[in-house]
Amino acid sequence: MNFLILGLITFPLLSVKALAQPISYPVADSVTIAANNAPEKDLDKFTDMIFYRLHPQLNDRKIRSNETQYINEWAAIRKVLRDGNLVYEQGCNVRLEWRLSEYDTPGRFGVGLVAFSSVLNKVADAVFYTRYPGLGYRRIQPDETRLVSEWSKIRRGVSLIDPCFY
C-alpha cells in the first residue's frame, strides 16, 4: 500500500510538458527486422525454390543422402539466404511476408535485365564455389571461359525468379 501512495505523490511532480510529448518508439525497417530472423520454414521454402530452379530435372523430389553435391549446393544457398538476405515486408498480396531482399529488375517489356540482384549474385557464387571448392573463392579470370560459362549458367538459372512466386 505504501508503494501506491508513493506513486500517487510523485506523479504530480512530473512536468506537464514531459507528459505532453509523444513517446517515440524506434521503428525498424524490414532489413533490420530480417537480419538472421527468418523462420526455418521460410528459409527452407526459398532455398528449395532457388535450388529446384537450378535443378529442374529433379522435379522437386527430395535430395537423397548419397547426393552430396546437391546437399552441399542446397546448404550453400540456404546460408546466403540466412545471412540477412530475406526481409519481412509487404509482398505482392499486400500482406507482410518473407521475401528476398533484392530481385533482378527486368528491362522494358520484360526484355533483358536492367539491374542484377546482388543477392542472386551471391547465390550463384555460393553454388559455383561449392562445385569448384579448389578455386577457394578466387575471382574467375576472363580467359577461364569454361568457368565463366559455368558461373553464367548458374546465374541465369536464378535470374528471373518471380518476386510473387507463391
From CA 145, how far away is CA 140, in angstroms rounded? 9
For 74-89, what is the mean pLDDT?
A: 86
> What CA–CA distances, in Å, run from 37 to 59, 97, 131, 148?
29, 13, 28, 34
Q: Is the pTM of this model over 0.75?
A: no
More confident residue, 130 or 27: 130
* 3-class DSSP assignment, residue 89: strand
Confirm if 135 and 85 have CB atoms less than 8 A apart.
no
- The domain limits of the chain are 2-159
How sure is the predictor about 95, in pLDDT bands with cuts at 50, 70 and 90? confident
Q: Which tens digits make up the pLDDT trace of 49-68?
A: 889 999 999 998 999 999 99
